[in-house]
Amino acid sequence: MSVSRKLLLLLPLWLFLLSVACTDTPASPEPTPTFPPTPHSTPTALELTRAASTPQPVGEGAYLSTVEVVKQLKPSVVQIVIEVVRMDFFGRPSPDTGVGTGLILDTGGHILTNNHVVQGAQTIIVILNDGTRREGTIVGTDPSTDIAIVRIEANGLVPALLGDSRTLQVGEDVIAIGHALGLAGGPTVSKGVVSALERTIQVDTQNTIVDLIQTDASINPGNSGGPLVNLKGEVIGINTAIIEASQGIGFAININDARIVAQQLIEWSNVRRGYLGVVPFNLTSALASRFDVPVNHGIIIQQATPGSGAAAAGLREGDVIIGLGDTEIRNTGDLSKFLLEHQAGETVDIVYYRGPERIEGEIRIGERP
């Protein structure tokens, strides 16, 4: 039986719905995550932390009121308006407009937002806190983590203060700031708590985002790419997804992962992950049964590229990888994060199933072609 998954790029003017079929049949259906909204001579890898110093852990240092946090963050939060020209039923060009949020990272004009906010954009307009409008260009995007970097030319930019998401605690107060619904008059502010940590949402059978922060702070269409902030005024997450038809369940990319991806996009315009040479899918119950493997998590190989590390290690279609190095690989998100931390040239242990047989070996990580 097929479960329909929806990837919703929420717009204040339009709702786009992308249905993706998964082959799993879970005992109790998982809620569908949706992504609210849409339709280089620069300082070196950053001023990104205007705060290159390590932030103080929760429980130490000065806490601010909500009003003070908002005053501190507002100059660093921008509205992103994108336009995509599509063909209508009669073959005539028809413009679609979407709105999202971005976060100023440095005085060189780099802005962090979600990939789904700018994906497919033909025109990007960035509106600063004082109402100034600047045309933006895409520096780089990473669909695997839903991160994108946009750059503008502007003076007097105020970078946001980035925190350390490792210090977060469940129950901690947080504030979400973003241009919800594209409403005029500046960003919308909502307050809640960290509801859970290390959440995983599956976008489709090939894409999973891991280590997300769950919050009950209200996140609405237009909030995507905006900051989730602690009471010290430190950005600890980037708002990215909500559960459709739920109340009070939203997700943010933890800032530590977002920072690593952002730095690479700014320096190289892409993310330099290691490369195994496989086309992976998340293992489902149906696939586990079909390939007779005794596990219900991992990544199943659809194809091993000739000449790749996977091919050299003897991997083939239908093999299910469950471990690399010391890391358990439960889904494509775990694989993506592992390859972000391990570069070409490394040889690591691998554990996989071929049917009911558990196999251990080694695999050499290559460079993505």
Which of 76, 106, 110, 116 is flagged as catalytic? 116
Q: What angle do CA 136, 140, 144 make, to 5 degrees?
A: 130
Q: What angle do CA 70, 257, 11 make, to 5 degrees?
A: 60
DSSP H or E segment with residue 85: strand 77-87
- The type of residue at 228 is L
Exposed/middle/buried for 44, CB within 10 Å: 0-12, 13-18, 19+? exposed
334 among known catalytic residues: no
Please give the distance of CA 265 from its chain centroid, rounded to a whole number. Answer: 13
DSSP-H helix ranges across 55-165: 66-73, 115-118
For residue 289, what are its two tokens?
Answer: 């049964």
For residue 226, what are its two tokens?
Answer: 């905006």
116 among known catalytic residues: yes
- Asked if residue 224 lies in contact with residue 178, where contact means CB atoms within 8 angstroms, the answer is yes
For residue 199, what are its two tokens?
Answer: 């959440």
Which of 24, 146, 257, 334 is flagged as catalytic? 146
Rounded-to-integer distance, Cα 175 and Cα 192, Å:
6
- CA torsion sign for 212, 217, 219, 223 is negative
Which of 76, 195, 218, 224 is flagged as catalytic? 224
For residue 303, what are its two tokens?
Answer: 């194809």
Rounded-to-integer distance, Cα 262 and Cα 323, Å:
27
Question: Any idea which residues carry the catalytic annotation?
Answer: 116, 146, 224
